[in-house]
Amino acid sequence: MLGKIEHIGIAVKDLTASNELYKKLLGTAAYKQEEVTSENVITSFFKAGENKIELLAATDPDSSIAKFIDKRGEGIHHIAFAVEDIKIELARLEKEGFTILNKEPKRGADNKWIAFLHPKGTNGVLVELCQEIKE
Ligand code: ZN
């Protein structure tokens, strides 16, 4: 079973400008900025009460974020759910017929194992599962 919404990911063109914008909106600055080189993205994280907002900007035109913005413009990119055991959940969801984009979870931003489900199977919503890395 999926847990709480861990964060909402928003694709942006200009991370510096969007950091300022979301600081004004949420009333608090980003608490973390992190580049994920394997994904060609740079991210920043904000707290909004119990929830988090992740801004994602491309660092390369081949990044999936750049492609998303070309196609659909800036906006909500994914919804991330916290899970206790990402491998168990991926196996369950695969059995349920969802298309798993990352059968092997990968290291994402914010100290998480992450994996995505194909949005074609989830009413157009890119769903991320994330599990805190405990080492
Ligand atoms: Zn995310």
HEC assignment per residue over 100-121: ECCCCCEEECCCEEEEEECHHH
Span from the CA of 79 to the centroid of ligand 1 (angstroms) = 7
Span from the CA of 9 to the centroid of ligand 1 (angstroms) = 5
Span from the CA of 122 to the centroid of ligand 1 (angstroms) = 16
What average pLDDT score do residues 6-15 get? Answer: 98
Q: How far apart are CA 81 and CA 125, in angstroms?
A: 12
Span from the CA of 124 to the centroid of ligand 1 (angstroms) = 16
pTM (2 decimals)?
0.94
DSSP, collapsed to helix, strand or coil, labels residue 79 as: strand
Tokens of 72: 């659909």
Span from the CA of 95 to the centroid of ligand 1 (angstroms) = 23
Span from the CA of 47 to the centroid of ligand 1 (angstroms) = 14
Q: How far apart are CA 40 and CA 26, in angstroms?
A: 26
Query: Contact, 109 vs 45, CB < 8 A?
Result: yes
Q: For 35-64, b where at least 16 C-beta lie within 10 A, e where not — what string?
A: ebeebbbbbbbbeeeeebbbbbbbbeeebb
Q: What percent of the chain has pLDDT over 90?
A: 92
Q: What is the pLDDT of residues 99-128, one digit of tens each?
A: 999 999 999 888 999 999 999 999 999 999
Span from the CA of 62 to the centroid of ligand 1 (angstroms) = 18
